[in-house]
Amino acid sequence: MKYFDLHCDTITDCYTDNKALYDSDLHISLVRGKKYSPWFQCFAVWIPDEIRGKSAVNYFDAVTKKLKSEIEVNSDKVILCKSSKDFEKAQKQNKIGAILTVEGSAALGGDIANLKYMADCGVRMITLTWNSSCEIGDGVCVKSPKGLTSFGKNAVAEMEKLGIVIDVSHASDILFNDVVNYTTKPFIASHSNSRTICNHNRNITDEQFNIINKRGGLVGITFAPEFLNTNSDKANIDDIIKHIEYFLSLGGEKCLALGSDFDGASLPNGIKGIESVEDIAEHMLRRNYSETLVKSILFDNAFNFFVSL
């Protein structure tokens, strides 16, 4: 089975907890994910809201170094995907494609020049904010949020020039609107669900989904229980399917993907870790989803998007 995941925090946990990517008790390990071939995984460098300025840049460097060292140790299994050719090579060789991403543009340290540095490191996507404010704008937990700052407007323009994908998961609604107004290229909500199905401000509205879809972007269904069901203790695979089905009803066949948030959130009932993704596919097939549609959501939509950059 092919699998493409738009978001996990695994490599950040590997760094903070000194664990190996190959095999550990984290939600993701290379051993438990080897059943998926090819498998492409976005590994996010998560910048906590209490880390800012030069410390955030240093934190980015440290976690990135950890990812690259883990790839080197497992070079027979993993390729760092910095270009379209790398994606195609990983697929052809049935290797794991590792994609370096950033969760929280505080990693820039307020210096626009660091975008070029990150692009050179291999960063393919940046989640503009986490929950609080940073130099670029306000996240979902900011009271009376504002949109893109002057720095933020320059940053998103530079990201588009460099081919770094803009990710609006965790963005406040007003920040989302500014991204729409100050950018032209497709962008992503890497790990967000439907606010209509589960009324949480981390989820996206129908209007926001339609905008992303019309732009040719992606929305990654996340497994975080509080974004699946208002009663998070009862969240399960059926809730994942509910969000998929709702977005499909809005015409999302080519827009939908998965963005698990493995190792960045607790898991719903029925999901143990990466080994459980095939169970989601089986649930979809049992509901008479075509194999083509299941393959599109679990792999093709995201793969085609990144190869086309």
Identify the pLDDT of residue 280.
98
Total count of domains within the chain: 1
Low-confidence spans in the chain with pLDDT less than 50: none
- Owning domain of residue 159: 3-307
Strands (E), the chain: 3-8, 39-46, 78-80, 96-103, 123-127, 133-134, 137-138, 165-167, 188-189, 218-221, 256-258
218: nearest Cα among 294, 278, 167, 183: 167
CATH number of 19's domain: 3.20.20.140
Identify the pLDDT of residue 106.
98
Identify the pLDDT of residue 197.
98
Identify the pLDDT of residue 256.
98
Give the integer Cα–Cα distance in Å for 235 and 246: 16
Taking the model in full, what pTM does it have?
Answer: 0.98
Residue 152: CB partners within 8 Å, gap ≥ 6? 128, 135, 136, 137, 175, 178
Identify the pLDDT of residue 29.
98
